Chain A
Amino acid sequence: MLGYNRAKGLVNLNQKNLHSLTHYYGIFCLLSALLPTLGVFFIFTICDDLVFAELVKEYIPNEVINSKDYNFTIVLAQINNSVEGLVFGTPPQWVTNAAEIWKSWVIKSNILTMIVCAITILTSGFLSYKKIHSEFRSRNAVEKIVMTILGVSSVIAILTTIAIIFSVVFESIRFFALIPYDEFLFGTVWNPQFEGAERAGSGQEGLSQYGAIPLFAGTFLISIIALCVSVPIGLLSAIYLSEYASSKERAFFKPLLEVLAGIPTVVYGFFAALTVAPFLRSSGSMLGLDIASESALAAGLVMGIMIIPFISSLSDDVINAVPQSLRDAGYGLGSTKNETVMKIVLPAALPGVVASIILAVSRAVGETMIVVMAAGLAANLTANPLEAVTTVTSQIVTILVGDQEFESAKTLSAFALALTLIIITLGMNFYALHVVKKYREQYE
C-alpha cells in the first residue's frame, strides 16, 4: 500500500518517467516485506522445538539419564505429552516440571517470533519502499520474485520422487541385507512369518520364505484376465462411439462409461468379493468346476470392468483427435466406414491406443483394493484363474497395515516389493511414451 502511494506520489511528480504501473510498486513492496517475514516465521517455528529439545535435557535428572533404558525420544515424548495436557498415569515430578518450563519457553518464543517478524516486515518493507524511485523497474522485480516462487513449486515433483525412491530403496537395501535378492527374485514360495518367531530364534526361521515369483505370477494372471475383458470391449466401444454413434449417442454413452472409471476401487473390491465371486462360485459348481471363493477370475473380471473406460475413453479421445480431414480423404476416395476406421483412423491413432492400453495395464498391475478384497492372500503359483492368488500390491497392504516394526524382514519385504512394482510400472510408462514418440516421429 505504501509502495502504491509512493508510486502515486511519483506519478504526480512526473508521470512519464515511471517505469512500471503503480500497482506493481505496491505488489513489490508487499512481496518483499512478506516473503522474508514468512521465512523467518518458518525458521522460528521449526527451530524452536529442536532448540527446546536440547535445552530440556538440562531438566532431566541425571539418574534418569544414567539409567539403563534411557531413551531420549521416549522421554521427550513424555514431556511433550505433558505439555499438551495428555497425562497418562502420574508422570514423575521432573517431567511435569520440564513441561512447565517448556510451556513458558513456548510463550516466550511466540512473543519473540512476533517481534522478530514485525521487525523483518518493517525493515524489508522500508528497504523496498526506499527502493522505489522512478527508474526502478518494479515490474521486473515482481516478475522475478513470482517466477521464482513458481519455479520452486515445480521442484516439489522432484522432491516427491526422491522421497519415494529414498524411502523405498533404503528400506529395500535393508531387506536385501537380510534376505538375498536372488531368493527374493527367483524363489517360488512366499511365506513371510511373524517376526516375533524369527527374533526369538526359536528355530522356526526356516518357515519364513520370501520368493516373489508367485506374487508376480498372480499379478500377471489377474492383469491378463483384466485385459482380456477390457481391451476388446474398450476398443470396440471407442470405435463405435467415435465413428458410428450419432452425436447424441456419444454424448450419452461416453460419460456413462467414464462413470466406471470414477467408481472407487474399494467399491469394485466389495463388488468382486461379495457379488461376483459368489456368483462365479455357484455357477462354477453348477458346471462342476471348483472355483475358490476368492479367485483370480473374480478379481480379474472386475478389474477388467474397471479399466474399460481407461481404454475406451482415451482411445476415443485419440481416435477423435485424428483430424477430420483424414476421414474426409477416406470417404472422398469411396471408403466404407469400416475401411476408413480400420485402415486410416486406427493406424493413425495407434500410438495413442497403445498408450491407453499400456496405461490400463499399469493401472491393473498397481491396482490394490480389488485384489486385496477379492483375490485372496494365498501365494499360489498357478496359472489357473479359478484359484486364489495374491498379488504384489495386496501383499504390501497386508504386510504394512497395522503397527509394524521397521526392523523385521517381513515389513521390509513390502518395500522390496514396492521397489519392484515401481520398476515394472515405470518401465511400462517409459515404454508407452517411447511408442508414442516413435509413431509421432514417423508420421509428423
Chain B
Amino acid sequence: MNKKIINPEDATNIVKNSILKRRSKDSRLKLFGRVAIGLAVCFLLFLFYSIFTKGYPGFFQYYVTLDINFDRERIDPKGDLSDNSLFDGDASTIVNESLFSVVEPKGRKEKKLAKKIVSSGKDVRIAKMVKDDPSLFGTVTQVKFALDDDIDSFLRGYIKRETPESERRINDKVIGFIDKLNEEGRISYEFSDYILSGSASGNPEMAGIKGAFIGSILTLSVCLLIAFPLGVATAVYLEEIAKKNRITEIIEVNINNLAAVPSVVFGIMGLAIFISIFGMPRSIPLVGGMVLALMTLPTIIISSRAAIRAVPPSVRDAAYGIGASKLQVIFHHVIPLAMPGMLTGTIIGMAQALGETAPLLMIGMVAFIVDIPNSVLDPGTVLPVQIFMWADFAERMFIQKTSAAIIVLLGFLISMNALAVYLRKKLERRW
C-alpha cells in the first residue's frame, strides 16, 4: 500500500526540494504580467500625450488687432442690419484699409499679399459684431481678427524664416508685414473663438467643430430614441416571454451575428436601403442615426439580456409564487433590477456610435457642409467624420485642429462614460 501512495514524510521532502524552482517560475509570470500592463498603459499614455500636445495648440490661434472705423454707411448701406444689407456692405475693405494703415504695403501686389494676412472671415466677423451691438456704429474700435493659417504656422515656427523664400509658403514681404504688426504689439496668441463655434471651413483658421458637434448630438439622439426602446423590448421579449424554440433561436443567432458584422457593412446597408431604396436624402442625421441605431442594437440587446439574465431566478420565483402575472414580474422586478446593466450597455453602445466613422462615410455624412444643422433632416456631419476629413487636409494647421477636435470628442466620450458610471452607481441600490 505504501508503495503506491508515497508516505507523507517522503512527500514532504520531495515538495520541499522542488519549491525554489516553482517559486521562481511564479515570480516570472508575475513580472511578465506587470510588463504587459506597463506596455499597454505606456501606449495609452503616449497616445494621449501625442494627441494632447498636438491638440492643445489647436484651441489657440494668432490674432491681429486692428482699429476699425464702424462706418454705418459702408457696413450697413440699407441701414436695417438685414443680412442682405450687411452682405452688400463693404466691411472687408474697411478692415483692409485699417491693416494697410499699419503695414503700409506698396503697390497692388503688396496690397494683395497684405490682404491675405487677415483671414477671409473678417467681414462676417464685423457683421456679427454690429448685429450684436449696433451702438458700435460710428465708433472706432479695436477689433481682433484671425490671421491666415500660413501666417499662423509661421508665427508658431513651423514655417522657418531660414528656409529659402522659394520653398516657403509665405514670402519675405509678408514676413516683413508681420514683423511690423508684431512691433506694434498688434499680434496676439489667444484662445480661438472659431474652434468651438465655427463649422466646417476650407480655411483652417476659421474651421470649427460646432456643426459636427451638433450633428453628432442629433445623430446620437436619433440613434438613442430608436435603439434603446427597441433593444430593451427585444431583450425582454427574448429572455422573459418567448418560448425557446426555432424562431427565438434564429433571432438569437441573428443578434449575435449582427454584433459581429463590421460597421462598414451597416453603412453599406444604410446606403442601399435608406438612401437608394427609400430615397432619403444623403448626409442627414436621421439616416445616420438609424444606421447607427441598427449597429448599436445588438450591443444593447446583448447587454440588456445579460442584465436580465443576471436577475436571480429566485426573484422571479418569488414573484410568481405570490401570484404576480408575467407582465408584473417583468415590470415590477426584472426591468428595475436589470436597469443599471441595460443603461450601461446602452451608454456603451452610444459611445461606440459616437465614435463611429465608417458607416457614416458611406451615407454621405462626409460631405462638406458649412451650415450648422437645425434638425435631423438638415444635412450635417459628425465629430469623428469631421476629424477624418480634417486629418486628410494638407494644411498644417488642420493637424492641430484635428487633434483639438479629438480632444473634444474624447471629452464627450469620457463624460458619457462618467455618466454611465454615475447612473450605474445611482441605480445600483441592489441591497
Write the residues of chain A forming the contact surface with B, with a CB cutoff of 8 angstroms: 139-140, 142-143, 146-147, 149-151, 153-158, 160-161, 163-164, 166-168, 171, 232-237, 239-241, 244-245, 253, 256-257, 259-260, 262-271, 273-275, 305, 308, 312, 334, 336-339, 341-342, 359, 362, 365-369, 372-373, 393, 396-397, 400-403, 406, 414-415, 418, 421-422, 425-426, 428-429, 433
Residue of B nearest to A258 (CB): B417
Residues in A with CB closer than 8 Å to B41 are 253, 256-257
State how many angstroms separate the Cβ of B234 from the closest Cβ of chain A: 4
Chain A proximity mask over B353-367: 1 for CB below 8 Å, otherwise 0: 011111001101010
B422 to chain A, nearest CB (A): 14
Alpha-carbon distance between A161 and B261 when the two chains are bound, in angstroms: 10
Q: For residue A403, which residues in chain B have a CB less than 8 angstroms away from its CB?
A: 364
Given the complex of chains A and B, what is the CA–CA distance between A263 and B327 in angstroms? 39
A271 and B234 contact, CB distance less than 8 A: no
Among A142, A253, A273, A336, the one with the most B-chain Cβ atoms within 10 Å of its Cβ is A336
Q: Which of A140, A167, A266 contacts B384 (CB 8 A)?
A: A266
**Chain B contacts for A393, CB-based, 8 A:** 262, 264, 358
Evaluate contact between B44 and A259: CB separation under 8 angstroms: yes
28 contacts between A and B (CB under 8 A): A153-B233, A154-B237, A160-B258, A161-B258, A164-B261, A167-B271, A239-B29, A240-B32, A240-B36, A259-B44, A262-B351, A262-B355, A265-B358, A267-B47, A267-B410, A268-B47, A269-B391, A270-B51, A366-B260, A366-B261, A366-B262, A369-B384, A369-B388, A373-B388, A397-B361, A421-B265, A422-B261, A426-B257
Question: Quick check: B242 and A151 within 8 Å, CB to CB?
Answer: yes
Q: Top 7 closest A-B pairs, CB basis? A: A366-B262, A240-B33, A264-B355, A167-B272, A236-B36, A429-B260, A368-B358
B190: min CB distance to chain A, Å: 25
Find chain B residues with CB under 8 A from A312 CB.
40
Contact B37 A240 (CB under 8 A): yes
In angstroms, Cα B264 to Cα A158, docked, is: 19
Main secondary structure of the interface of B (DSSP, over half): helix
The closest CB in chain B to the CB of A396 belongs to B264
Q: Tell me the smallest distance from the CB of B152 to a CB of chain A, in Å.
A: 18
Given contacts A143-B327, A428-B260, contact A337 B26 (CB under 8 A): yes
Max chain A Cβ within 10 angstroms of own Cβ: one of B260, B294, B351: B260
CB pair A160 B294 closer than 8 Å: yes
B33→A418 contact, CB < 8 A:
no
New A-B contacts (19) at CB < 8 Å, excluding given A156-B230, A428-B260, A429-B259: A140-B325, A150-B236, A158-B254, A160-B294, A160-B297, A164-B266, A164-B269, A166-B273, A256-B41, A257-B37, A260-B40, A264-B413, A267-B51, A334-B15, A336-B25, A368-B264, A396-B268, A418-B265, A421-B262
Task: Mark contacts of B30-45 with chain A using CB atoms, 8 A cut-off: 1 yes-contact digit, 0 otherwise.
Answer: 1011111101110110
Instruction: Name the CB-closest residue of A to B240.
Output: A150
Question: Which residues of A sit under 8 angstroms from B413, Cβ to Cβ?
Answer: 262-264
Report yes or no: A244 in contact with B30, Cβ–Cβ below 8 A: yes
Set B44, B229, B259, B356: member contacting A256, Cβ < 8 A? B44
Q: Which residues of A contact B256 (CB under 8 A)?
A: 429, 433
Tell me, yes or no, whether B4 is within 8 Å of chain A by CB.
no
Q: B47 to A263, Cβ gap below 8 A? A: yes
Most buried by A among B34, B297, B326, B351: B34
A400–B410 CB distance below 8 A: no
Q: How far is the CA of A395 from the CA of B299 in the complex (A)?
A: 26
Cβ A157 vs Cβ B29 within 8 A:
no
Instruction: Determine the chain B residues whose CB is within 8 A of the CB of A271 once the complex forms.
Output: 47, 50-51
What is the bound-complex CA distance between A140 and B28, given in angstroms? 64
Q: Are B269 and A163 in contact (CB under 8 A)?
A: yes
Among candidates A262, A270, A342, A425, residue contacting B402 with C-beta atoms closer than 8 Å: A270
Is the CB of B394 closer than 8 A to any CB of chain A?
A: no
Give the contacting residue for A265; candidates B15, B355, B366, B399; CB below 8 A: B355
The residues of B that contact A240 with a CB separation of less than 8 Å are 30, 32-34, 36-37
Binary A-proximity of B9-29 (CB < 8 A = 1, otherwise 0)? 000000100000011011011
Max chain A C-beta neighbours (<10 A), residue from B22, B269, B325, B403: B269
- How near does chain A come to B260, taking the closest CB pair, in angstroms? 4
| Residues of A contacting B410 in the complex (Cβ-Cβ under 8 angstroms) | 263, 267
- Tell whether B209 is near chain A: CB-to-CB under 8 Å: no
Residues of chain B within 8 A (CB-CB) of A263 are: 47, 355, 410, 413
CB closest chain-A residue, reference B32: A236
Contacts known (A153-B230, A267-B409, A338-B26); A142 close to B327, Cβ less than 8 A: yes
- Residue on A nearest B301 in the bound complex, by CB: A157
B251 at the interface (CB under 8 A from A): yes
Q: Decide: A308 and B40 in contact? CB cutoff 8 A.
A: yes
Is the CB–CB distance between A336 and B23 below 8 Å? Answer: yes
In the assembled complex, B343 has its CB within 8 A of some CB on chain A: no
A31 to B364, CA, bound (A): 40
Which parts of B43-58 form the interface with A (CB within 8 Å)?
43-44, 47, 50-51, 54
A367 is contacted by which of B33, B262, B265, B409 (Cβ under 8 Å)?
A: B262
- Tell whether, in the assembled complex, residue A373 and residue B264 are in contact, meaning their CB atoms are under 8 Å apart: no
A21 to B, closest residue via Cβ: B328
Minimum C-beta distance from B188 to chain A (A): 28
How far is the CB of B29 from the nearest CB of chain A, in Å?
5
A276, chain B: closest CB distance, angstroms = 9
- Complex interface: chain A residues within 8 A of B25 (CB): 336, 338
B20 to chain A, nearest CB (A): 11
- What is the 8 Å Cβ interface bit string for chain B, positions 296-311, against chain A (1 contact, 0 not)? 0110010000000000
A308 proximity list for chain B (CB < 8 A): 40, 43
CB-CB < 8 A to A266: which residues of B? 355, 357, 384-385, 387-388, 391
**CB contact list, B229-251 vs A, under 8 A:** 229-230, 233-234, 236-238, 241-242, 250-251
Residue of B whose beta carbon sits closest to that of A373: B391
On whether the beta carbons of B268 and A151 are closer than 8 Å, the reply is: no
Please state if B264 and A418 are interface contacts (CB–CB under 8 Å).
yes
Q: Which of A143, A237, A341, A366 has the most CB of B within 10 A?
A: A237
Measured CB to CB, the closest approach of chain B to A311, in angstroms, equals 10
Q: Are B44 and A157 in contact (CB under 8 A)?
A: no
B233 A154 Cβ-Cβ under 8 A:
yes
B263 interfacial contact with A, CB 8 Å = yes
Q: Does B423 count as interface, using CB distance less than 8 angstroms?
A: no
Q: Cβ of A154 and Cβ of B242 under 8 Å apart?
A: yes
Specify which chain A residues have a CB less than 8 angstroms from the CB of B276 in the assembled complex.
406
CB distance from B96 to the nearest CB of A (A): 34
A150 touches B417 (CB 8 A): no
Contact between A415 and B268, CB atoms less than 8 A apart: yes
> CA of A393 to CA of B54 in the docked complex: distance in angstroms?
28
Residue B68 is within 8 A (CB to CB) of chain A in the complex: no
Q: Are A270 and B387 in contact (CB under 8 A)?
A: yes
Which of A153, A260, A270 has the most B CB atoms < 10 Å from its CB?
Answer: A270
Residues of A within 8 A of B294 (CB): 160
Take A150-B233, A161-B258, A232-B36 as given contacts and tell me if A264 and B354 are in contact as well, using a CB distance cutoff of 8 Å: yes
Cα–Cα distance between A268 and B40 once the two chains are bound (Å)? 14
For B95, what are the chain A residues with a Cβ–Cβ distance below 8 Å?
Answer: none
- Say whether B86 faces chain A, with CB atoms less than 8 Å apart: no
Residue of B nearest to A151 (CB): B237
Q: Contacts A267-B409, A366-B262: A401 and B40 contacting too (C-beta < 8 A)?
A: no
Residues from 267 to 285 in B contacting A, C-beta threshold 8 Å: 267-269, 271-273, 276
**Partner of A336 from B26, B356, B366 at Cβ < 8 Å:** B26
Minimum distance in angstroms from B380 CB to a CB of chain A: 16
Q: How far is the CA of A236 from the CA of B32 in the complex (A)?
A: 7
Identity of the chain B residue whose Cβ is nearest the Cβ of A359 in the assembled complex: B260
Chain A's nearest CB lies how many Å from the CB of B6? Answer: 14
Is A401 a contact of B361 with CB atoms below 8 Å? Answer: yes
With an 8 A cutoff between CB atoms, is B406 at the interface? yes
A252 to nearest B CB, angstroms?
Answer: 10
